[in-house]
A and B are shown apart, each in its own frame.
Chain A
Amino acid sequence: MGDVAFWGVNAVRIWVLALVVALCGGCTFSRVRTNPEVADLETAWIVPGTTTYREVVGRLGMPPPVGQADSAPAFVSAETLHWLSTDTRIFELKVGYIVSPIFRRSRTVAADDVLIRFDDAGVVRQVSRTRRRGDETTVLDFREARP
């Protein structure tokens, strides 16, 4: 290929030039993190079967909404309190000079997640805490009240 030429210009150079021109749309790497403070919540002090709803709220505060202001019902109920932090990684490529197709890949995962379940008396019955980094989900804490 090194010997091939078009209009006196080396083919490899033309290929490189075409690639550079095509990439003139640009690559975008972006990331969105919501509620990162969830990673620092302390839950080791919670004792399933003993700790109450008021004690949990008194020490951890209420769970924040995620993504939209009206999403609170998804994270607060009589039976559960759910703290969620999300991590979104986005790659976008606009290729081309006049006609530019858009290539976008986005993945959103629950980076840190604390779910506390309560019984009818408002006492903690289960604490479940997970963390996701890359493709791995790790359970950091999982304790239940003895029946």
Chain B
Amino acid sequence: MRVGLFLAVLALCAGCISERMGYAALDVEPPRPGATYHDAVTTLGNPMTVHDLPDGSTEAVWVGTATCGGAFEISFWGVRLLRLGNTETVTQGRRLVFDAAGRLTASWPVGEGDPPWGVVPFGR
């Protein structure tokens, strides 16, 4: 119990940083197969890039970034003695392909899941 409480206080002292941009800031489900490009824009907003593929289909890509980490400072009477912090940023997005009839046929995630939390900047 005491060890758990101590670890919880220690974790709280390490801070928490969460920054999301673009697609990573949206909290929506991607469009389902058969949806139109208009449906996708209604759900996700305009894509970052959109272009035609050689077979007549259309590819649209939404991207964003998610940053997670922590930081803390040790200071005394306005003098900062130490700042320790670490953040990791990953790309998050979605790539949608619409066939020549304008219907969603393929949907792939872009990038990885949420980055891990950490506060130690050293090491690999």
CB neighbours (8 Å) of B51 from chain A are 79-80
A80 to B51, CA, bound (A): 8
Residue of B nearest to A82 (CB): B46
Residues of B within 8 Å of A, CB-based: how many? 35
Those of A31-80 within 8 Å (CB) of chain B: 74, 79-80
Are A142 and B25 neighbours in the complex by a CB distance under 8 Å? no
In terms of DSSP, what is the predominant structure of the interface of chain B? Answer: strand
Residues of the A chain whose Cβ atoms lie less than 8 Å from the Cβ of B112 = none
Chain A interface size, as a band, is 20 to 34
Cross-chain contact B22 with A102 (CB below 8 angstroms): no
A108-B25, A135-B27 known; A101 vs B71 contact (CB < 8 Å): yes
The tally of CB-CB contacts under 8 A between chains A and B is 91
Cβ B15 vs Cβ A98 within 8 A: no
A13 part of interface (Cβ distance < 8 Å): no
Contacts of A142 in B (CB 8 A): 38, 41
Q: Determine if A94 and B73 form an interchain contact, defined as CB atoms under 8 angstroms apart.
A: yes
With an 8 A cutoff between CB atoms, is B105 at the interface? Answer: no
Partner of B19, one of A82, A100, A106: A106
A-contacting residues of B (Cβ < 8 Å)? 12-22, 25-27, 38, 41-52, 70-76, 85
